Amino acid sequence: MAVTPIERLGKDALQAKGFFGAYKWLILRRITQAVIIGLFIAGPIGGMWVLKGNLAGSWLFETVPMVEPFVFLQMLAAGMFGFLTTTVVGVAIVLAFYALIGGRAYCAWVCPVNVITDAAAWTRRKLGITQSAKISPQTRFWLLGAVLVVAALTGQLAYELVNPVSIVHRELIYGMGVAGGLVAAGIFLFDLLIARHGWCSHVCPMGAMYSLIGAVATVKVTSPNRVQCDDCMECFEVCPEPKILPPALKQGMRQGHPPVVDAMTCTRCGRCVDICSKDVFAFSLLTLGKAKRAEPGESVGKEEERGFKKAS
């Protein structure tokens, strides 16, 4: 009987690359997420104020302001123009950072909800749940617009009262309460029972906003080794946005670059890089300007190694 991609998921990578090679980006992400939460908690609990505040707005070493662009956008929509210069500087710092590394890196490396949705995806695979409600990925952009309209109509940051990211993060810092528990359970069950990668890849307006600042980022996932692809489909199983993979696997090179995975949508989670025993994918620093998407049928070969630096 044929072995399904789920049944053999990760086994080839483990054999070919060893444990660290097969999980390195996942391990680094979990460490990063834990360290960020830990630095926020260290202040209230131990008086060590490396990060003061929360994800919406914080101070690094009580000196460098950082302001969440999504919250700032809502402030602008709500007509709250009485902000300080430090707020603008804080937004600029955060925007510049994510514009450089990719907006949705926030989703995979910082957002606490990511752990919940990753856990739901893992549980889905273990339980063999394959059915999924059809929700358009564009829904999140409509919801982003709706959040801004509500802010404009109410003059308030209304969405922040129900934003799962803010609720979960706040309660992780100051103690998990009923609201945080309910939100976490709701998102987990939604992703587990209703829609595969339902919340982050279809609904979350915050993720939608971060995708808008990811298109020109320097750090991208490319497929320099796609000629080695044996169609095992394991990357499709682990990618939270699997629809972005086919173009990177099926297209040829252009202007010295291998195909680039859709930079707006890719969360830079690195799971496709880890899970592939053939090392088809890699994080790349595209330093020669914006990489163009290649057209189907263009040649692939050794010359594609020119023009980009492989970073993993």
Q: Which residues bind ligand SF4 (CB under 6 A)?
A: 107, 111, 113-114, 117, 165, 199-200, 204, 206-207, 221, 238-241, 244-245, 261, 266-272
Residue nearest to ligand SF4 (CB): 207
Structure tokens at 286: 């595209």
CB of 77 to ligand SF4, least distance (A): 18
CB contact set of 270 (below 8 Å; sequence gap of 6+): 24, 25, 26, 28, 29, 108, 221, 283, 312
CB of 156 to ligand SF4, least distance (A): 21
CB of 160 to ligand SF4, least distance (A): 13
Residue 51 or 165 with smaller CB distance to ligand SF4: 165
Residue 87 or 139 with smaller CB distance to ligand SF4: 139
CB of 1 to ligand SF4, least distance (A): 28
CB of 41 to ligand SF4, least distance (A): 19
The 8-class DSSP code of residue 94 comes to: H
Residue 49 or 135 with smaller CB distance to ligand SF4: 135
CB of 240 to ligand SF4, least distance (A): 5
Residue 65 or 240 with smaller CB distance to ligand SF4: 240
Strands 57-60 and 64-67 turn out to be antiparallel
Residue 51 or 183 with smaller CB distance to ligand SF4: 183
Residue 84 or 185 with smaller CB distance to ligand SF4: 185
Q: Are 257 and 304 in contact (CB under 8 A)?
A: yes
Residue 84 or 189 with smaller CB distance to ligand SF4: 189
Say how far apart CA 189 and CA 181 lie, in whole Å: 12
* Amino acid sitting at position 8: R
Q: For residue 84, how far is the Cα from the chain centroid?
A: 29
Q: Are 137 and 243 in contact (CB under 8 A)?
A: yes
CB of 125 to ligand SF4, least distance (A): 14
CB contact set of 196 (below 8 Å; sequence gap of 6+): 121, 124, 132
Residue 206 or 294 with smaller CB distance to ligand SF4: 206
Three-state SS at 112 = coil
CB of 223 to ligand SF4, least distance (A): 9
Buried b (16+ CB within 10 A) or exposed e, 268-304: bbbbbbbbbbebbbbbbebeeeebeebeeeeebeeeb
Residue 53 or 240 with smaller CB distance to ligand SF4: 240
CB of 163 to ligand SF4, least distance (A): 9
Residue 310's H or E segment, with its range, is strand 309-310
Three-state SS at 274 = helix
CB contact set of 66 (below 8 Å; sequence gap of 6+): 57, 58, 59, 60, 90, 93, 94
